[in-house]
Structure 1
Amino acid sequence: MIKLVQINPDGDATLWLTFSDGATARWSAADYIARDTVMTRPLADPAYFARAFIEAGSLAWPNGFELSADALHRRLDSAGALVREAA
């Protein structure tokens, strides 16, 4: 099971994610923010977005919005956005 092991802010709505398999990727929350739901609306505020944290290997915010590392990893991998270290 893939988990997040590190997150680093990289702009108002962007994070660098590091996964348990060593892969990294720059991830933007723009698609989620554009949905403008009760759970995603706070992410539009850069100060709130920066409060992201890892909970049980998933990406989370204080309002309870959470994204699984597996889903993020699959989506980033299919988009060709994952960077993997050479063996």
Structure 2
Amino acid sequence: MIKITQVHYLQEKVLRLYFSDHSYGDYDLQPLIAKQTELVLPLADEQYFKQFFLELGALCWRNGLELSPGNIHKKLAEQNQLHYETKVA
């Protein structure tokens, strides 16, 4: 089961996510926010957006929004946006 191990804010609506399989990718949440569902509407506010946190490996916000790490990982892989950390000997 894939989990998000770290998350860093990069720029407006884009987060760099690090996964438990040593991969990482930049995830743009603007397409999700554009759907304007009740749970994602607060993310349009940049200050609120920056209040993300990880809970049990999932990307979360305090309003109860929880994004599946497996689904994000899959989307990034399908878009060729998933990279793997190289280990230095």
Letter in 1 for 2:57: G
Distance 2:86 2:51 in 1: 32
1:81 aligns with 2:81: yes
Instruction: Report the equivalent of 2:47.
Output: 47
What's the counterpart of residue 70 of structure 1? Answer: 70
* Higher strand proportion: 2
After the TM superposition, list the runs of 4 or more consecutive aligned residues in structure 1 that deviate by more than 2 angstroms. Answer: none
SS of residue matched to 2:71: helix
Q: CA RMSD in A?
A: 1.0
Distance apart, 1:12 and its partner CA: 1.9
Aligned counterparts of 1:84 and 1:11: Cα–Cα separation in 2: 21
- Secondary structure of the corresponding residue to residue 10 of structure 1: strand
Q: How many residues align?
A: 87
Alpha-carbon deviations, 1:29-83, whole Å to 9, x = none?
0111100111010011110000011011000000001111111001100110001
Distance 2:6 2:86 in 1: 19
d(CA) in 1 for partners of 2:7, 2:15: 6
TM-score, normalised on structure 2?
0.93
Partners of 2:51 and 2:85 in 1: how far apart?
28
Supply the AA of the counterpart residue of 2:34.
Answer: A
| Cα distance in structure 1, aligned partners of 2:10 and 2:76 | 16
- Return the TM-score normalized by structure 1: 0.95
Q: Distance in 1 between matches of 2:33 and 2:68?
A: 17
